[in-house]
Structure 1
Amino acid sequence: MSQTNKLGLWVLTALVVGNMVGSGIFMLPRTLLEVASPAGVMLAWGLTGLGVLATALVFGSLVIRKPSLSGGPQIYAKELFKSGSHASIFSGFISTWGYWIGNLAGNIAIITTFASYLSTFFPALTNQQVLFSVGTFTLKVGNALTFIVCTLLLWGTHFLILTGIKGAGKINFIATATKVIGFLLFIIIGLFAFQKSNIVPFVAPRFDDAGETIGLLSQINNAAVSTLWAFLGVESAMVFASRAKKQADVKRATILGLLIALTIYIGISTLVMGMLNQEALIHSEKPLIDAIETVLGPIGAKSLAGLGLISLLGSTIGWIMLSAEVPYQAAKQGIFLSSFLKENTHGMPTFSLVVTNSLGQLFVFSTIFNSISAAFDFVIYIATLSYLIPYFISSVYQMKIVVTGETYNLEPRSRWSDGIIALLSTIYSVWVIIAGTADMKTFALGMLLLFSGVFFYRNVTKLAKQNY
């Protein structure tokens, strides 16, 4: 790929911010207040922010020290074992498989949410009039229109990306810059509309389904697990490391993107608690829109819904780019199916894009068939490990090279600092995995999803033998 077609610092930063600040920001304030008091929410943001910052620093260090290992945090799984061994190839393949499937399902969640926000301007998308019936199946007008919108967005993004990484990156940058400006304006308005009385009581108990009291520490634990989902995508620049103009830009973009996203998330979730009383916020189906409507009226609500569409559009471009890049880069490392190596004249992974979006199209049918919708929710629910395990793997691999001293010959001071950061990131990753998969059903189903790729592993070993 020519230098002119590679990604610069600001486009990489936009990928990080765009993928992190997606649909979740619109519902997270309500979700957090359900499980924690205002004090618990703020402390959870601080704890998660520090944990993810340590993980982001690990990503940045590994990109610079191991530039040949590009494609995402899951790629380091193969480096934990002897090069070329079955353990190395299998661990690399399985972690890539799980991470790819998790991303694929998440893409469609963003796309279907886009259609939901679009219904604010086009109510026909929620029209319950029956279009036709066949047996027990009934297709409603709104469902059919939603299916068309989701399909057009999916494949429109597909063909946009095929034209080249730089063009798609620029559009993502424009969408991300727009939503960052919009959210900063929301924060400024929120500062003037904030009422201290709405966050009182600042420290208050919460109750579980059995009516048992949940104390502040448990509230922080519950909320911190939820806040982690706001940071999924912090590794986006890392996935595109091989397409960056400078490897140092990947680390800078990761840290800068994280700080921008953290400012937006903490600012908005805190201010919304002061714009709506706690009871109204907990029962709100659209907390940000309800909050801005109390200040600016219906025009403000419409404007925020429009900002949501721009936000989701940027996230769609970024996540589809990332999802196709993951198996493509893994195939280049010899740990994924060789067919994913196919690319067009613009250097874009054509086969990977086609497979990723074709599988995504199956999930788009969730807008028509309730049974498929239930299956989609099921996949999203058990995909937790698909994201958490690669973060853990990266931290452990950083610990490994710190212990062995690899790449640290003339940098003893950096070795100590990187070791401390990697240890903190590892502890944080273990804690979140344990807290996020405490339910054995979730854990078992997550492992089932992760290891469903073994049926394709034989084809991977053939490619690996050619590389070693």
Structure 2
Amino acid sequence: MQQNKLGLWVLTALVVGNMVGSGIFMLPRSLSEAASPLGVILAWLLTGGGVLMTALVFGNLAIRKPELNGGPQIYAKELFPKRSNASVLSGFMSSWGYWIGNFAGNVAIITTFTSYLSTFFPILTSKQTVFMVGATPIKLGNLLTFMVCTALLWGMHFIILRGIEGAGKLNFIATSAKVLGFFLFIAISLFAFDKSNIGSIVAPRYDEAGHSVSLFGQVTGAAVATLWAFVGVESAIVFASRARKQTDVKRATILGLLIALIIYIGISVLVMGLLPQKQLIHSEKPLVDAIQTILGPSGAYILAGLGLISLLGSTLGWVLLSAEVPYQAAKQGLFIPAFLKENKKGMPKLALVLSNGLAQIFIFSTISHSMSAAFDFVIYIATLAYLVPYFIASVFQLKLTWTGETYETNTKQRITDGVIAALATIYSIWVIIAGTSDIKTFMLGVALLASGIIFYPLVKKAVDKEKNAKKRLSA
């Protein structure tokens, strides 16, 4: 059976493949709007350091608690006595938040796909008003974008329902295209880089009221956006049970993170050198616009085509993952039992329908916003939802170092892991605070997480039923 296990490089590829998705195609624009060139670089480095601490936590837990696999949300139930009310509630709420992050994240990928599709069909950016909804004008481009996003979401839905084999083949093709596209972009951009496009490395940025934002404020503002790019760093943890060695999980997580960080910083800086700042800030497809300045329309079409294939694969993978999270949680008694329903192909049918149904609600944001605005909105909600299980994993690592569980007499390692867990916890708290500084985002995030309480009684009922059944058997 050893030959069927995943080795270091396969695990690393999973980490890099899941992290490097929609973020790399849209973030250069988001970050240039939020921060100066220096602020962008510092945001990447600070986020990279914080995520590195989180990655080390994941790696440590994979080695010390190999029986706990399936994602970072699983650690929530371990903070309390086994099968207690607190354990079940925390496990459910963490899984709920992680699930929200998954289906909301799907929308960010789908809207990015539509942005790059507009290279071939410019009508997707049309500003012509089709009709009015109250005082809100519905523009042709936004309406068509909504229709394309909806078709892509449910197209992937039916592909996945037909089984995982076909989905796997499509994802492999998309990953190959992704690697080729980034290699092409970096190779060409290195020769055309113009530092005059960057302008002042500390160029000021202003808030909505017109007030100048400090450098630290810029870095803080970019923190949530940069963290979105690293969502997926826990991928090796999800597949820990399939790893040849648990130490490979930790190595793959760290190696994958470093590779992604190099790609992100490299492409962010290169795009700044290819497009003037004002043009970059208003770009709906920054990588395509950047390559077009060098190769003209033909280069834009090539990169946009590769981007579309890559994003199709990312959409396929994350739609599948968004259904798998509640399905696996339900298997562990931490989610609504109805999510265990499968179709004839063994796919989580109900989980897939509900996940995509909720994603559809987010897609409505494209009707009244531009594609870039919809992307910004969704990644904030999705990233904040992911931060909950990331924070919990760090706290669980702190608990192990505090109690000494799994460390025995290894005091030095215990102290080191405790410091790492503390830094990861502080980082998670900082990003949560930064991301919820906007009251609208905060209230929506709280509402989405709190909505899980409505369904908790169903989970509790199933757990109590299982407990009573075990009591009767043991009596």
TM-score after normalising by structure 2: 0.85
Task: Structure 1: state its 5+ residue gaps.
Answer: none
> Distance in 2 between the 1:152 and 1:27 partners?
21
The verdict on how the C-alpha distance between 1:213 and 1:26 changes in structure 2, with shifts beyond 3 A counting, is same
> Distance in 1 between the 2:282 and 2:125 partners?
21
The verdict on how the C-alpha distance between 1:243 and 1:336 changes in structure 2, with shifts beyond 3 A counting, is farther
State the AA in 1 paired with 2:323: A
- Output the aligned Cα RMSD: 3.5
Q: Deviations over 1:401-439 (max 9, x none)?
A: 111121222644432332222111111111111111123
Which residue does the alignment assign to 1:399? Answer: 398
TM-score after normalising by structure 1: 0.86
Which residue does the alignment assign to 2:106? Answer: 107
CA contact (8 A) 1:110 1:316 kept: yes
CA contact (8 A) 1:14 1:173 kept: no
Which residue does the alignment assign to 1:38? Answer: 37
Shift of 1:384: 4.8
> Distance in 1 between the 2:378 and 2:198 partners?
36
Which residue does the alignment assign to 1:446? Answer: 445
The verdict on how the C-alpha distance between 1:36 and 1:142 changes in structure 2, with shifts beyond 3 A counting, is closer
> Distance in 1 between the 2:303 and 2:16 partners?
18
State the AA in 1 paired with 2:433: I
The verdict on how the C-alpha distance between 1:184 and 1:397 changes in structure 2, with shifts beyond 3 A counting, is same
> Distance in 2 between the 1:396 and 1:23 partners?
29
Q: Tell me if 1:58 matches 2:57.
A: yes
- 1:285 counterpart SS class: coil
CA contact (8 A) 2:101 2:385 kept: yes
Report 1:58-457 matches (<5 A): 58-123=57-122, 149-162=148-161, 165=164, 168-242=167-241, 247-343=246-342, 348-361=347-360, 363=362, 382-409=381-408, 411-457=410-456
The verdict on how the C-alpha distance between 1:240 and 1:152 changes in structure 2, with shifts beyond 3 A counting, is farther
CA contact (8 A) 2:107 2:363 kept: yes
> Distance in 2 between the 1:81 and 1:271 partners?
48
> Distance in 1 between the 2:104 and 2:320 partners?
14
> Distance in 1 between the 2:189 and 2:126 partners?
34
Shift of 1:121: 2.3
CA contact (8 A) 2:108 2:378 kept: no
The verdict on how the C-alpha distance between 1:208 and 1:79 changes in structure 2, with shifts beyond 3 A counting, is same
The verdict on how the C-alpha distance between 1:236 and 1:376 changes in structure 2, with shifts beyond 3 A counting, is same
> Distance in 2 between the 1:201 and 1:136 partners?
41
The verdict on how the C-alpha distance between 1:249 and 1:36 changes in structure 2, with shifts beyond 3 A counting, is same
> Distance in 2 between the 1:28 and 1:198 partners?
18
> Distance in 2 between the 1:135 and 1:448 partners?
26
The verdict on how the C-alpha distance between 1:63 and 1:324 changes in structure 2, with shifts beyond 3 A counting, is farther
Judge which range, 324-333 or 117-126, deviates more. Answer: 117-126
Which residue does the alignment assign to 1:47? Answer: 46
> Distance in 2 between the 1:11 and 1:269 partners?
26
> Distance in 2 between the 1:212 and 1:232 partners?
31
CA contact (8 A) 1:6 1:166 kept: no
